[in-house]
Amino acid sequence: MNRTTSQSAFNEAQNFIPGGVNSPVRAFKSVGGTPLFINEGNGAYLSDIDGNKYVDFVQSWGPLIFGHRDESIEAAVIEAVKHGLSFGAPTEAETALAKLVVSFFDSIDKVRFVSSGTEAVMSAIRLARGFTNRDNIVKFKGCYHGHSDSLLVEAGSGLATFGTPSSPGVPADFTKHTLLAEYNNIESVKKCFEDSDAIACVIIEPIAGNMGFVPADKEFLHELRKLCTEHGALLIFDEVMSGFRASINGAESITGVTPDLVTLGKVIGGGMPVGAFGGRKEIMNMLSPDGPVYQAGTLSGNPVAMAAGYASLMKLKNNARVMAVLEGRASRLVEGMQAAAKEAGIAMQVDVRGSMFGFFFNENPVKNFEDAASSDAAIFAAFHAGMLEEGFYFACSLYETGFISTAITDAMIEDTINAAAKVFKAIANG
């Protein structure tokens, strides 16, 4: 495939944008090569500026559950734009989407909209601290909750420790209140509670999508819920990625575990920038202007984003069976690729929840970040490059998740499996 125009565009972008990208993973650093510069998405496909066409298993990192340029979402956006891009004042569209979100989640009585997942998580943690009047939080190594200062931490020694900054520009004082635990390891969480009696909340991706795709064990989440209740800490489910992807009714409907707060994004904006956090009334009523915990945003509840999100969620609500169809296709995809990898002598672990899927080139099941990090990054990079050449666009990092949209057909799934078999054979033959 010719990608010379993308290369030229990337060279120019690097002169004006740090790294040539506005989000680091897009730079293809972990897989090598030049990032594709896209000029169009349509249905299941992306087209780059060189004219190459790819079946898209990234779908803008999750939001596009109905594929690119879905007619109903596109029409809702165009109609909203006709009335104005932003008002900085309340609109009925905000209430309509809020009511719709609340209707899906048993754990959410009220919801507040923001402009990104990072903002949603940052605000939810502030609210938890304000509600409990405590300072410390627990997060899990490998779970990504946005780039706010207190969440950019790296592990220290032992099962659990207070975090140290993992990025320059983050003062140590900002992360000293963040304790780190190991995903799917309840003993590490118990250690956190032993180390601190001032834990405001535990935040977790119940279906992790940022260490690769690693769902939490149900038993682990149930024990986590018990610990939080016992110690008076709030449990926050970060479902910015998994919300309306793994299940229409949230991870709580899959696991049977009810969180105190939930953060959302991606699908609830239908492709527009949006985030949200919600929970029980008594917690949410602590937010300004009702309560003392301050949170604000000029573009929060943007009418165009609300219109896109409402159209997206209403389409899901009216076509609830589509989740089973998408899960079936996701399962067929990864199981087919796994069989092809095995035939080529390549070890591959796979998993699926709803329209989310993931895979690791690893001999053993992956349960946490350490397991994920032991996967074969070289094989992943070769697989990614090979699949691009075959016309299939996967996430450009082994620590990301794949997504199925309704625009991806059964025939496309079979074509992907056949292409993967070809790529695996080439990798095995060196």
Q: Answer positive or negative: Cα dihedral of 256, 258, 264, 270.
A: positive
Catalytic site includes residue 266: yes
> DSSP string spanning 356-381?
EEEEE--SS---SHHHHHTS-HHHHH
Q: 264 and 278 in contact (C-beta within 8 Å)?
A: yes
Q: 268 and 244 in contact (C-beta within 8 Å)?
A: yes
Cα angle for residues 377, 244, 371 (degrees, 5° grid): 25
Residue of 45, 266, 371, 399 marked catalytic: 266
> DSSP string spanning 248-294?
TT-HHHHH----SEEEEEGGGGBTBS-EEEEE-HHHHTTBTTTSSB-
Catalytic site includes residue 238: yes
Tell me how many helices (H) and strands (E) the chain has: 14, 19
- Centre a 10 Å sphere on the Cβ of residue 399 and count the other Cβ atoms it contains: 24
**HSE (side-chain half, CA atoms, 13 Å) at 292:** 6
Residue of 56, 238, 351, 371 marked catalytic: 238
Strand 356-360, strand 402-403: pairing: antiparallel
* Residue positions counted in the chain: 430
Residue of 45, 144, 393, 399 marked catalytic: 144
- Centre a 10 Å sphere on the Cβ of residue 60 and count the other Cβ atoms it contains: 15
Write out the H or E segment, with its range, that includes residue 97.
helix 92-104
Which residues are CB-neighbours of 3 under 8 A, at least 6 positions away? 34, 36, 48, 50, 52
* DSSP H stretches of helix in 161-217: 172-175, 186-195
- Catalytic residue positions, numbered: 144, 238, 266
